[in-house]
């Protein structure tokens, strides 16, 4: 931090939802000094993000931010895929730490990146150094990192939801993990698209990318160290009739030779033990009180409980007839799924309180 008590922070790509959310959260961060978000087309920040009216923040150009690189401690990239891998090395070479909220550094293998995103990686030399930023799993690596690859919103919610189960060795990896994933319309970005306009999306669901979502290879890659080998993830995705949020419902088959003693209570114990020391991951362990198949909604996580927060809420259940564990995980896609986890990683990178700037609970 060059001896300072505060951080000078750049945000490349300040006009989108993630960039605006970073600005909002950093304005309440005790260690944030200068905040420098960028825009390419001369936009006015308070018109793009009217919730920040009166904040005093102003956009600058990417070129101006590059000119001020020597002043910066960290730079966030909230850019479309393909931009950070071309821009981040300029800052990294000048001693600025980087957190990439886009997908450019999520694969250590350049060939895997090309297979998923359809173009060669522009900075393959940086891929082995990038740390995958699920803070709760890779805290020590994040603390030592110069470059953190923030996970995708679906991915971080799923990885947190499945980590205890996969690490336990109970999962039958010869059976695909079935993943139903729904995110808010903010996950579609802020460029006008008729299908996600309020009048079109209200009271509806919008399935997409059913031929294979790009987060599935990310999940298969980063679930492998937890499971012992790469699982098959059958992922279906849709936008729901809400602005913020990620709802993950996963079905994971339990090995036939490991089902004795497995029930909801045992799974809850597994999850509570795994996340006992984690502030931002909370397990819904309310006891069931009704009869079999009673509609007890409160024993599972609620999406609106995490809106606006950096929390991930997780719930579990078990189908003993078919041998499937059911995992529900919810986050806010703009906070824990993007800006919040990025700030959490920044805090760890600079030895700050991990909760700094993120202490608020759901709305």
Looking at the DSSP bridge assignments, the partners of residue 7 are 32
Euclidean distance between CA atoms 142 and 26, whole angstroms:
19
Strands 324-331, 246-253: pairing is: antiparallel
Task: Decide: 50 and 117 in contact? Cβ < 8 Å.
Answer: no
Looking at the DSSP bridge assignments, the partners of residue 238 are 182, 207
- Rounded to 10 degrees, the C-alpha dihedral 271/272/274/278 comes to 120
Euclidean distance between CA atoms 330 and 306, whole angstroms:
7
Element (H, E) at 330: strand 324-331
* Phi and psi angles of residue 109, each rounded to the nearest 5 degrees, phi first: -105, 120
Euclidean distance between CA atoms 56 and 82, whole angstroms:
30
3-state secondary structure at position 38: strand
Task: Decide: 253 and 192 in contact? Cβ < 8 Å.
Answer: no
Strands 7-12, 32-37: pairing is: parallel
Residue 312 catalytic?
Answer: no
Q: Residues 6 or more apart from 175 whose CB is under 8 A from it?
A: 253
**Which of the residues 23, 78, 153, 312 is marked catalytic?**
153
- Catalytic residue numbers read 153
């Amino acid at each position: 931090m060059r001896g300072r008590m505060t951080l000078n922070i750049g945000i490349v790509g300040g006009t989108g939802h993630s960039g605006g959310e970073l600005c909002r959260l950093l304005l309440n961060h005790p260690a944030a000094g200068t905040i420098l978000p960028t825009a390419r087309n001369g936009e006015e920040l308070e018109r793009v993000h009217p919730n920040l009216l009166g904040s005093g923040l102003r956009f600058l150009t990417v070129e101006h931010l590059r000119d001020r690189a020597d002043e910066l401690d960290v730079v966030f990239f909230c850019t479309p895929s393909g931009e950070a891998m071309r821009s981040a090395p300029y800052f990294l070479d000048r001693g600025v730490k980087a957190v990439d909220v886009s997908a450019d550094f999520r694969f250590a293998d350049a060939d895997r990146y090309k297979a998923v995103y359809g173009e060669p990686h522009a900075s393959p030399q940086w891929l082995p150094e990038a740390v995958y930023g699920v803070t709760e799993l890779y805290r020590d690596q994040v603390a030592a990192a110069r470059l953190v690859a923030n996970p995708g919103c679906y991915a971080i919610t799923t990885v947190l939801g499945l980590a205890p189960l996969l690490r336990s060795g109970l999962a039958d990896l010869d059976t695909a993990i079935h993943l139903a994933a729904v995110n808010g319309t903010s996950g579609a970005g802020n460029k006008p698209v008729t299908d996600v306009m309020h009048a079109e999306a209200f009271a509806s669901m919008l399935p997409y990318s059913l031929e294979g979502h790009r987060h599935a290879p990310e999940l298969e890659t980063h679930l492998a160290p937890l499971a012992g080998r790469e699982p098959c993830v059958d992922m279906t995705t849709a936008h729901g009739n809400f602005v913020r949020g990620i709802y993950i419902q996963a079905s994971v088959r339990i090995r036939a030779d490991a089902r004795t003693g497995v029930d909801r209570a045992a799974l809850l114990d597994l999850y509570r033990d795994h996340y006992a020391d984690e502030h931002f991951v909370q397990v819904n362990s309310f006891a069931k009180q009704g009869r079999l198949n009673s509609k007890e909604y409160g024993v599972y996580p609620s999406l609106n409980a995490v809106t606006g927060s950096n929390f991930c809420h997780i719930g579990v259940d078990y189908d003993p007839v078919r041998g499937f564990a059911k995992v529900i995980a919810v986050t806010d896609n703009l906070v824990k799924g993007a800006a919040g986890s990025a700030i959490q990683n920044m805090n760890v990178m600079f030895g700050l309180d991990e909760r700094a700037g993120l202490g608020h609970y759901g709305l």
